[in-house]
Structure 1
């Protein structure tokens, strides 16, 4: 683990707008344990850095940032025959191109390839997208429709799974997301309503249907049922969405 002091030019890498960022210490842990130790001391973790840098330009002033770029364990993608695990540090491009993801859950690989633009897919990470709490981001909605869990490491040891759609504001270090029996899930997405909501539907082999709506708040709205259902809606577009979504979800079911 190396640490750059406040005078390091690395702190100001980027465009001239970067000079608005207050000085900070940059730590580069190489393991999860080292990262958790830094978090116990108050460090802010950084994945791809896209959102954190924007928040720092807007005034956020962390004393120390722990870059996750060298923590290889957080980038791993694995499948044990039952559960697909995608590391929080895996980039969007990694998810969409990974051979295991394409083999066991091709719907997820295809849908993930549509996240963001080329720059975001190359640098942005699963964990960063999931934890940013930006309504327009897609990871939480997609993963919620898969019934995925987000697994966090606590700073005092141990791991805690929470529903991926409720990962925002969970304390600890996001380690990975876990999707059980991905081969038994048919996943579909409808992005053309993005001015109103992102719609993702998961059809499971056991007859369950999970519908997740993103873009309406910090967390996706999730409904679970044995047929196409929609969560309770509120807000200025509630009437429109309530009228449109049942037909759309049925069309998504028929494929």
Structure 2
């Protein structure tokens, strides 16, 4: 096994990816494979924080748009992320991995409130920390939450595990001429309006000089490949 290229990472997992082919709810086969990869990363000595989306249960803008007040719809999305956090935590614990769930909205009965110093202490002790409820504020995506938490815990890189295998010049499902980038700058992502993360998340990542590697979660071993330095997906970073 190769030496890991990163000491501390923030893994962002989309909620839709946890749903598998069904598209909604939880696919425990997928979750089990993801958790096995996380366990392997911990055994390599990598400190892992996780932010998970909630789109497999509820997407505030999409599901509530036009029918609900935006803030309340986003609050429901925060609850959806917590469902995913608890599912991930349970599967990891069954595998013998120590986990702490921290939420930006207090839910003391089953999660710690987010406290930066405690999160870092957990990471240093080899525990996986799963961050729920996004930033705790409406109008901010879980991608933005991932960048914020990565900056706060001083992560070396953000691993963006999605249902697509990299950043393309256009939507590859709609444009057969779309070109996949191996590397691209934050500025180009913003200028071309590419669908890596929303503009707020991309700008925050750029301002804090945190590289983002986007890759497909369809094969969870991609997490380990990235940690070992294999060139997969697309890296978004500063221009050099």
Q: Which has the higher contact order (CA 8 A, sep 6+)?
A: 2
More strand by share: 1
TM-score range, shorter chain: under 0.3
Per the normalisation by structure 1, the TM-score is 0.25
